[in-house]
Amino acid sequence: MAPMKVYGWLVSPWMAKVLLCLEEAGVDYQVVPLSLSDGDHRRPEHLARNPFGQIPVLEDGDLTLYQSHAIARYILGKHKPELLGLGEGGGVEESAMVDMWLEVEPHQYEAAMKPIVWHCIVHQHVGLDRDQAVVDECVRKLKRVLEVYEARLSSAAGSGSPGPSRYIAGGGRVSLADLSHLPLMHYFAATEYAGVLDAYPRVRAWWEALRARPSVKKVMAAMPTDFGFGSGSSP
Amino acid sequence: MAPALKVFGPARSTNVARVLVCLEEVGAEYELVDIDFAAREQKSPDHLKRNPFGQIPAFQDGDLLLFESRAIGKYILRKYKTSDADLLREGDLAEAAMVDVWTEVEAHQYNPALSPVVYECVIYPAIHGTPTNQRVVDESLEKLRKGLEVHEARLWESASLAGDFASFADLNHFPYTFYFMATPHAPLFDEYPHVKAWWERLMARPAIKKLAARMALLN
């Protein structure tokens, strides 16, 4: 069986989400590196894979998929449905909790965190100014979001389960909802705003526990926190 | 006896409609509980228990409380699926994957381009009485054109976005597009004949006709 192929650049947080799924699922895969600066994602051969001209893209035999969460769901649905709250021991309620926090991640968490990372780390290398007003507003928003996460991680995991929840979807086991937060957190923790997490000890503990997973260590090892700009290896 | 399924939020809200479409498609009974935005009820302690971000919709099925309209929609379509209403196609990995791709496209490509036009032309004037910001509208329309080209190419290949079957992906496009069609920019869709035909098929679905009539009354 031919391994799945993933097209993109390793420093992308959305590429990383897909690689985390492949690692957790333990399946064979091949990364096809593309170059952002050479505009590989805008070339006809890539637009044929993803008409929106973005990465990551997954090829599995005849099937070509894009949008990182769609790719992630496919990989896990095929090889590790427990990470979607389905499969063995899962069900409609657990999968709904996973789906819910998978929506919160882009709409609340990424919306606040991504601009901080981009303005503080990326902009200086791509000829864009850092807009401190944007950063300040996003830090304010992020604190409100992290308050919700802190409360979530402090409450009981589910019916009959004592103690706080180690995992964001609360099913007592790790899910894609947890994993999807990690790549951006990896970069945020390298900004001058990392100390924001000090006020949210359960969030910090959740991040520290997840980053110790072998899959996470392996994928993050290929993601320098300066996006490779410092070593001249940016995509 | 009151229905076990409750949706919390104003009937005219696009994201509430996203959930109602799914309920109507599976033919489930539900109760719509209004949340009074004028009184900031969405930030009340009772509502924050349902949605800690203080937003709408929220949803209840017995003891289960959910928020995030797309997650609620998925739950409804999964749990209340029938042989006539299989809109997630989870029995087939490849079909389900295409439903997910186009659901994500709606959330992250289509909606960010289209919704600012709806906010500037319909929602903000109604709520705040502010004039339309034409620069935002023009920039959004340019992005929307690019997105509609992709939808047009896709709908050459198949009758619906995920394949030759209607799905959650199509339904997700309904609420904001419905209000877009009430703006002066509706004729934009005429430039994309396969998209236009797909939209008309969507609007002909009984569940959508029913909701559209209700949403039109509120305007």
- How does pLDDT run along chain A (235 residues), one tens digit per residue? 799 999 999 999 999 999 999 999 999 999 999 999 999 999 999 999 999 999 999 999 999 999 999 999 999 999 999 999 999 889 999 999 999 999 999 999 999 999 999 999 999 999 999 999 999 999 999 999 999 999 999 985 544 455 567 899 987 899 999 999 999 999 999 999 999 999 999 999 999 999 999 999 999 999 999 999 988 888 8
pTM, rounded to two decimals: 0.96
Half-sphere exposure of residue A149: CA atoms within 13 angstroms, side-chain side: 28
**Chain B residue closest in CA terms to A60:** B94
- Shared domain check, B104 and B60: no
pLDDT tens digit string along B149-187? 999 999 999 999 999 999 999 999 999 999 999 999 999
Report ipTM (2 d.p.): 0.96
Clarify whether residues A37 and A111 are in a common domain.
Answer: no
CA angle A117, A123, A128 (to 5 degrees): 145
- Contact state of B70 with A103 under an 8 Å Cβ cutoff: yes
Instruction: Clarify whether residues A102 and A187 are in a common domain.
Output: yes
> B97-123: per-residue pLDDT in tens?
999 999 999 999 999 999 999 999 998
Instruction: Tell whether A38 is covered by a domain.
Output: yes
Listed in sequence order, the residues at least 6 apart from B137 whose beta carbon sits closer than 8 Å to its beta carbon are B116, B117, B120, B121, B185
Chain B CB contacts of A52 below 8 Å? 105, 109, 150
* pLDDT at A159 (0 to 100): 43
Q: Å from A50 to nearest chain B CA? A: 10
Please classify residue A223 by burial: count the beta carbons closer than 10 Å to its beta carbon, then call 0-12 exposed, 13-18 middle and 19+ buried: buried
Q: How far apart, in whole angstroms, are the C-alpha atoms of residue B57 and residue B201?
A: 26
Chain segment B25-78, per-residue pLDDT in tens: 999 999 999 999 889 999 999 999 999 999 999 999 999 999 999 999 999 999
Same domain, B64 and B97: no
Query: Last residue of a domain, which of A65, A84, A103?
Result: A84
pLDDT tens-digit profile of A126-154?
Answer: 999 999 999 999 999 999 999 999 999 99
List beta partners, residue B7: B32, B59
Which residue in A161, A23, A181 sits closest to A94, CA to CA?
Answer: A161
Say which CATH number the domain at B181 has: 1.20.1050.10
Residue A160's pLDDT is 45
Q: Which tokens go with B34?
A: 């209004």
Residue of B nearest to A106 (CA): B108
Looking at the 3D structure of chain A, how many domains does it have?
2
Task: Check whether residue A113 and residue A170 sit in a common domain.
Answer: yes
The domain of A150 spans: 92-219
Q: Report residue B207 as tokens.
A: 């569940």
Asked if residue A102 and residue A68 are part of one domain, the reply reads no
How far is it, in rounded angstroms, from Cα B182 to Cα B174? 13
Q: What residues of chain B lie within 8 A of the CB of A51, using their CB?
A: 150, 153-154
Domains: count for chain B:
2
Between strands A63-66 and A29-33, the pairing is unpaired
Structural domain boundaries enclosing B56: 5-79
Indicate if the pLDDT at residue B1 is higher than 90: no
Query: Cβ–Cβ of A96/B94 closer than 8 Å?
Result: no
Q: Could you tell me which chain A residue has the CA closest to the CA of B81?
A: A92
Count of pairs with CB atoms under 8 A, one residue in A, one in B: 74
| Same domain, residue pair A68 and A110 | no
A107 contacts chain B (CB < 8 A): yes
Share of chain B above pLDDT 90, in %: 89
Same domain (yes/no): B123, B199: yes
Cβ distance of A148 and B53 shorter than 8 Å: yes
Torsion of CA A144, A147, A153, A155, to 10 degrees: -120
Tell me the nearest-neighbour CA distance from B96 into chain A, angstroms. Answer: 8
Determine the distance in angstroms separating the CA of A99 from the nearest CA of chain B, rounded to an integer. 5
Residue A161 within a domain: yes
Do A140 and A77 lie in one domain? The reply is no
Classified as helix, coil or strand, B121 is helix
CA of B153: which chain A residue's CA is closest?
A51
Instruction: Work out the percent of chain A whose per-residue pLDDT is above 90.
Output: 89
Q: How far apart are CA A114 and CA A124, in angstroms?
A: 15
Q: Give the residue from B100, B102, B103 with the most A CB atoms within 10 Å of its CB, the best one to mutate.
A: B100
State whether A214 and A168 are in the same domain: yes
- Please list every residue in chain A whose beta carbon sits closer than 8 Å to the beta carbon of residue B104: 67, 69-70
